[in-house]
């Protein structure tokens, strides 16, 4: 959209208020996406803020100004992956949901969040149109190869791939919409955008300091070489 392209150009020109508008436009969706992935409100808040700061720092790299939203979501997903990687040891050290060594423990514990996600996706697949549902069930649920699934359905491989592509697209949209609905149940702090802007400014200051330090180091190297040349010419 033209308005968004204008805001991006203004941000690149140093207008922090323009970026504040972009934050306000996407903060709920990005927080909801992070919350849907990590299932932790504090972590989702941090990931959302990290994503906006990263977007601010890398905004000059965005070639297609019309794809800011998709680009920002990709950044958020990468930060979710980083969060899982850094918290992997906590999952390994956490106690099991059910102590199966205890004589009175039930045979099965409560459903985990991963189990619930699996049930949610299965329910979404059931809501797909018949032609997409059959392809999705065979390949996603039964884990058949595309060739085997196409043979069962009596269709060409290219037709099956097209149906799987459409099924993935619909499932992705439903997951995003559900994440936004979940995120709307929790209001981000009123100063969320302020926090993002402050961190963006801190990043700018840090970058400037590094550039100045590098410039001083280069200047010192040049001075040393010039002094050496002057002494050699005497």
Range of the domain at 31: 2-90+187-201
In this structure, the dihedral spanned by the alpha carbons of residues 9, 11, 17 and 22, taken in order and rounded to 10 degrees, is 80
| pTM for the structure as a whole | 0.54
Give the C-alpha distances (Å, rounded to integers) separating 160 from 29, 38, 152. 32, 32, 11
pLDDT value at residue 3: 87
CB 189 within 8 A of CB 195: yes
Number of domains forming the structure of the chain: 2
The two structure tokens encoding residue 230: 């002057």
**Domain final residue pick, 138, 155, 183:** 183
Residues 58 and 172 in one domain: no
Residues 85 and 194 in one domain: yes
Q: How far apart are the first and last CA of the chain?
A: 66
CA–CA separation, 233 and 180 (whole Å): 72
Q: How many CB atoms lie within 10 A of CB 45?
A: 19
The pLDDT tens digits along the chain (234 residues) read 568 999 999 999 989 899 999 998 888 888 888 887 888 888 989 999 999 999 999 999 998 888 898 899 999 999 999 998 887 765 444 443 333 333 443 333 444 444 444 446 677 788 888 888 888 888 877 778 888 888 888 999 999 999 998 888 887 777 666 666 655 545 567 778 888 888 888 877 776 777 777 777 777 777 777 777 777 776
Residues 55 and 7 in one domain: yes
Residue 229 lies in a domain: no
Give the CATH number for residue 143: 1.10.10.10
Residue 86 lies in a domain: yes
Residue 195 lies in a domain: yes
DSSP string, 113-159: HHHHHHHHHHHHHHTS-HHHHHHHIIIIIS---HHHHHHHHT--HHH
CA–CA separation, 27 and 33 (whole Å): 10
Residues 81 and 126 in one domain: no
Residue 143: phi and psi, rounded to 5, are 60, 35
């Amino acid at each position: 959209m033209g308005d968004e392209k204008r805001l991006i150009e203004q941000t690149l020109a140093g207008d922090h208020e323009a970026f504040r508008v972009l934050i306000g436009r996407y903060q709920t969706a990005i927080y909801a996406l992070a919350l849907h992935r990590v299932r932790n409100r504090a972590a989702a808040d941090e990931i959302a803020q990290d994503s906006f700061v990263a977007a601010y720092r890398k905004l000059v790299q965005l070639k297609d100004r019309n794809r800011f939203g998709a680009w920002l979501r990709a950044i958020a997903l990468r930060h979710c992956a980083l969060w899982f990687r850094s918290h992997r040891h906590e999952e390994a050290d956490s106690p099991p949901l059910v102590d199966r060594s205890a004589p009175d423990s039930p045979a099965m514990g409560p459903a985990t969040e991963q189990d619930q996600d699996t049930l949610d996706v299965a329910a979404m697949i059931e809501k797909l149109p018949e032609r997409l549902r059959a392809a999705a069930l065979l390949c996603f649920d039964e884990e058949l190869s595309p060739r085997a699934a196409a043979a069962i359905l009596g269709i060409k491989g290219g037709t099956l791939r097209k149906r799987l592509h459409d099924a993935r697209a619909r499932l992705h949209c439903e997951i995003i919409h559900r994440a936004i609905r979940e995120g709307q149940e929790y209001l981000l702090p009123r100063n969320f955008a302020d926090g993002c802007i402050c961190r963006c400014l801190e990043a700018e200051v840090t970058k400037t300091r590094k550039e100045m330090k590098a410039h001083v180091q280069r200047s010192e190297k040049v001075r040393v070489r010039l002094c050496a040349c002057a002494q050699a010419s005497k």
